């Protein structure tokens, strides 16, 4: 039933979308699903990733690349492969999803710890570096600041790269608008975490699909 439901959802999402969009989303979903395998093996073996490895893992595991792609439907755009593969756009997308994933770590560290789930940047900083909670949070805060800097730099580079790639007119406007929207989504993710019950409640009361976390 799950496979049938996903096939139907995929069919609806792909209507009218370009081959480049479908290829991008397929790859992102595939990479996201493989993170569950990676984490399962890591937890069974006890070989937890170092922080740099985890940052790359978190970009796939947070599953927000797909969100960025789906947001194009709401905006009525369909970025070409030439735009998706611009270095600045790739850097911007990576920094945006990494920020959203790491920020989620900071706000969910108590519930992750309570459930024994160590794939969290704060907990990994404590595990690998012997930091206390405050030191670990500060380390992750530095990572978040780095993400913001990378996003800012990518947005500044984007117009020049669009010119160099000969991307003009509506395609150029769509690329610039989409890039600006990514920053809005990062801010919205920040605000959401201070409003959702699962992040503002005590660990034992944090909601996961409507049930207490155990």
CA angle 48, 52, 58 (to 5 degrees): 75
Dump pLDDT digits (tens) for 134-153: 999 999 999 999 999 999 99
Q: What is the CATH number of the domain that holds 193?
A: 1.10.600.10
User: Does 206 map to a domain?
Assistant: no
List the domain range (segments joined by +) for residue 170.
19-201
Grade residue 203 by pLDDT with cuts at 50, 70 and 90.
low
User: Does 1 map to a domain?
Assistant: no
Q: What is the pTM of this model?
A: 0.91
What's the number of domains the chain is made of? 1
Q: What average pLDDT does range 154-162 have in this prediction?
A: 98
CB 96 within 8 A of CB 153: no
Dump pLDDT digits (tens) for 93-117: 999 999 999 999 999 999 999 999 9
CB 180 within 8 A of CB 187: no
Cβ-proximal residues to 89 (8 Å cutoff; 6+ apart), any chain: 79, 83, 154, 158, 161, 175, 179
User: Does 56 map to a domain?
Assistant: yes
CB 65 within 8 A of CB 26: no
**pLDDT on residue 211:** 47
User: Does 209 map to a domain?
Assistant: no
Would you tell me how many other CB atoms lie within 10 Å of the CB of residue 161? 16
Read off the tokens for 103.
Answer: 């920020």
Name the average pLDDT for the chain: 92
Dump pLDDT digits (tens) for 15-30: 999 999 999 999 999 9
CA 214/CA 91 separation, integer angstroms: 37
Taking CA atoms, 119 is separated from 11, 12, 67, 156, in Å, by: 33, 33, 21, 33
Report the candidate in 127, 209, 31, 98 with the shortest Cα–Cα distance to residue 119.
127
């Amino acid at each position: 039933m799950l496979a049938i439901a996903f096939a139907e959802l995929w069919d609806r999402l792909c209507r009218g979308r370009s081959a480049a969009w479908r290829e991008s989303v397929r790859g992102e979903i595939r990479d996201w699903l493989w993170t569950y395998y990676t984490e399962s093996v890591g937890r069974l073996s006890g070989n937890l990733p170092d922080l740099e490895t985890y940052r790359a893992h978190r970009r796939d595991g947070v599953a927000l690349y797909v969100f960025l792609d789906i947001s194009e439907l709401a905006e009525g755009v369909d970025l070409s492969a030439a735009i998706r593969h611009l270095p600045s756009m790739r850097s911007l997308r990576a920094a945006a999803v990494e920020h959203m994933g790491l920020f989620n770590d900071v706000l969910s560290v108590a519930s992750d710890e309570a459930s024994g789930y160590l794939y969290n940047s704060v907990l990994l900083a404590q595990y690998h570096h012997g930091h206390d909670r405050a030191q670990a949070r500060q380390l992750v805060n530095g990572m978040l600041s780095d993400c913001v800097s990378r996003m800012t730099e990518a947005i500044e580079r984007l117009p020049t790269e669009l010119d160099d790639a000969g991307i003009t007119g509506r395609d150029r406007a769509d690329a610039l608008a989409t890039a600006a929207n990514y920053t809005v989504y990062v801010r919205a993710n920040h605000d959401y975490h201070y409003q959702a019950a699962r992040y503002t409640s005590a660990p034992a009361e944090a909601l996961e699909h409507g049930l207490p976390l155990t």
